[in-house]
Structure 1
């Protein structure tokens, strides 16, 4: 037990400083369905000191997000990005500087937190100066890097963030340690990229545009230009001109409608409007359609009362896929959702026969 605790503390001392990034805002309905992750700020990934140093993000994953929106919600317990990973972090000079900067190394005596800290400092120094590595591999400067644990800045559970307990280890430029669990890989990068994608708020187009009418179908559709595939590429430089990467793409798949009242009929009956071959969901009203049932829409059966409204909820489902630098690519990332709400006023038109 002591050995495991010591190992955790030693490894934690090498973890890159992480800044927890709050997830982008989502509706209360979205939050009830699952967890949200990560985010972009001004088009750049906001991942904290550790993530931004070791993982580079690019792509259009924040496109169309000016009017609200956020990260995709996935079912609770179904999936989450890794809480930590190992990545190329320190050159020999940087590692030596970090060890030399410890309180015990600087003062030559035990700091206020006692004998255990002194012993840990001594163990670390011996490992990299006289033990497994000689003089911090300074003679190999430029030939590789020490890989170290990187906590996921978006992981809220501190214990999970610190669960990568291996001390920094040497890897040559251009190589990746296949035998180390949680060593950064295209698969891990695909999950990190997924967590960075932000989608626009789901807001449907309606016809009639303003007030709806009892028993008159309301046609519903999405602006195809706004709701289009989005992707983020996450990459890590292995040195020596080698890079590993993964590109994750999410694509609109279906739209679910909830009219906000039992006194309504949804179209289709399932309330779920599938994406069509041209990438559109739903159809704008066409003159002459009259009281035809729309391919996607709602027919309200009772007017709103006393100046009140119904809350029309629309949830867009996005399918995810990824491809990696090693030729890997799966559709094993979870389907995500993002919703939105609109107030709808329904009137009843009286007619005299």
Structure 2
């Protein structure tokens, strides 16, 4: 006897599955497992069967056609196929739990390939115009962390159930990645002592900080928000937008730091975005925490991060009436101020630029 995988579409009407199984039984084909996928074209029946050694692929295909099956797919199977698909999916999800370090790069693509019997799985970090879904042997899965996965196989065509399982697996992986980052970043947090003796914690932001950061933003005055978000007001609704906050907290090309007061309350955030060898820094401090040295401390931290990353300079776009921030940047050594209307672009050199500058 030999194991085969058989997939065929039949009309989603009473009795049609029994016609197909009877046709297989008449040829001494033993059905070991079956799944039924409901689609717009009909019911897709996926069998794992044990057939006589003398039976060929053409014989099985003929039996399927005789049983009113269409769009048939027949291929030899391995003993691993005896595990039902829900159990198989759970086992593969368990692998994600035990190997969080390389989820996006290797583990998740390999897991998706095993789950779907795919020939190729590719992760796209950039935004794509393709909507999540599937067509034939191509599937696009949305990655909650950004980007998407493209999954390819020749035959058979993907089904809604397979797509749902794969998307669920991607979402499990994204959750595990966030939790792993949170654990690692928790270890990276440092204490901060303000000049007035107040103790804060400074740490990298994670996706789970969205509610706390939104609360901080809602507590900020319109003037403070205008200075940070260049004219955007709370009333316009764009500041606390969920998608925008998620991108802001974990930017793909930089880092966001949060200052956390006792009680896990976020009172300030600072973001460094990198493009080439230049960085752009922004700082937002809740009104009640301004003029206490917190903005200066955060800007120093971003400057140090830029130097450690080998950036040539740091640029800060400041409202012309934001006297406190302009004064802070001067204290940090900024010597280039370019005004354009109501905005001043300030350039702060880093140590990485010093050797080239001093040699001229």
TM-score above 0.5: no
Q: TM-score range by the shorter chain?
A: under 0.3
Radius of gyration: which is bigger?
2
Higher relative contact order (CA 8 A, sep 6+): 1
TM-score (norm 2): 0.23
